[in-house]
Amino acid sequence: MKQICVVGVGYVGLVSGACFADLGNRVIALDIDEKRVENLNKGIMPIYEPGLEELVERNVKSGRLTFTTSYEEALKGSEFAFIAVGTPSGVDGDADLQYVASAARAIAENMSDELVLINKSTVPVGTGDWVANIVKEAQPEPIDFSVVSCPEFLREGSAIGDFMNPHRTVLGSQDVEAAEKVAHLHLPLRAPIVITNLRTAEMIKYASNAFLATKISFINEVADICEALGADVKEVAVGMGYDKRIGPMFLDAGLGWGGSCFPKDVKALAFMAEEKGLDPLILNKTLDVNYQRRDMVVEHVIEMLGGDVKGKTIGLLGLAFKPNTDDMRDAPSIDIANALNAAGATMRGYDPVSMDVARDLLPVVDMFENPYDMAKGCDALIVVTEWNEFKQLSLKEVKDLMKENAVIFDGRNIYDPAHVREMGFNYRAMGRGYNGSGS
């Protein structure tokens, strides 16, 4: 059993800490947010993630997982300290590292034994060296330490499974022995381990996320071409995905990506390139294509409602940026709702999980407790998040509840166009022009 300190009990820190505890380690998870720590000690989760509450409860009960606001308590006896704090985007797209710097200083000031310091947060290339300098300067007296980069590859909604069954573990350090120690922590996961230098490990994280974001933007651009030429992007994606060089993942045309990772990481990588005098054409276009999806939905819905949405009532099926999470960061629903409201529409919304988080972010949206109540009296519905619940809706009941000439814009391609149109809906989807209607 190893003792591990995890600094930051947000999304990455809480999931990682709970999973390391479940692997048999003693984990002391630290956060400076006293209310968050207090709630965790009561079993109240700060985020929604399937299975996380049960995982935390089990490991707290076993004594392997504890929460504190004290760096001294968290570091005493710990051999490893993971920094898993937020790195939000700055104004220009650069990563804001103030929380990383604060954590590094506090660790330096409170460590009493040799320590392996691990950057779990997504940080710009070169941050590992910068953190090492901060720790050296902030130590009251010299104590040996090493810095290792161990980027996370967790997907919201399936984070526990991703941690326990990773495709690979990436470790970077100038100290090979320290990297090997961190590798031993991950051996029970039985996944390939890549050990490289600090900057290469940091770059692997950004390059991976940027590539996946580019893949999504690519299929969305293909969807536009499908609409224009009468092809079905869903079938195109299936045909592409059988090619092992391409693969089926991240080929779902729709409203594009949001959340905390892809937008931030693509912007940050583009910023790093521009800082070095490079012109990251693909990265910038990846961003452009993604955010154009939101404008396109608004344009489609306005057109489907006769060119004017003043006085119309429009409901959003889903608010979170993706299913199985309550994360509203950079969610397409925010831009879509605000744009349609500005055009004169009354906006409604329903989401199985995220409405408590969404209320403060979407004051223009009236929230409903179920999709049927929301649909009653609506002129149009927009599928924003592909929750399974929406795939099982009784569309006949929805049709009866909505106003005449009911509109559905399927931003996630979850319905069969022919079936929905047969029911009498004015229906469009993303890139499904095979029916000859250009929609």
**In which residue are the tokens 């390939």 written?**
192
* Tokens representing residue 89 in the block: 């985007």
CA distances (Å), 108 to each of 26, 134, 146, 179, 249, in order?
A: 21, 8, 12, 20, 42
Polymer length in residues for the chain? 439
d(CA 315, CA 188): 46
**In which residue are the tokens 């009354």 written?**
346
Whether 261 sits among the annotated catalytic residues: the reply is yes
Residue of 19, 150, 226, 261 marked catalytic:
261
d(CA 16, CA 413): 33
Which residues, in sequence order, are bridge partners of residue 314?
347, 380
Q: Tell how far CA 360 is from the center of its chain.
A: 19
d(CA 159, CA 218): 25
CB 248 within 8 A of CB 237: yes
Q: Is 82 left (phi over 0), alpha (psi -120 to 50) or beta?
A: beta
Which residues are catalytically annotated? 261
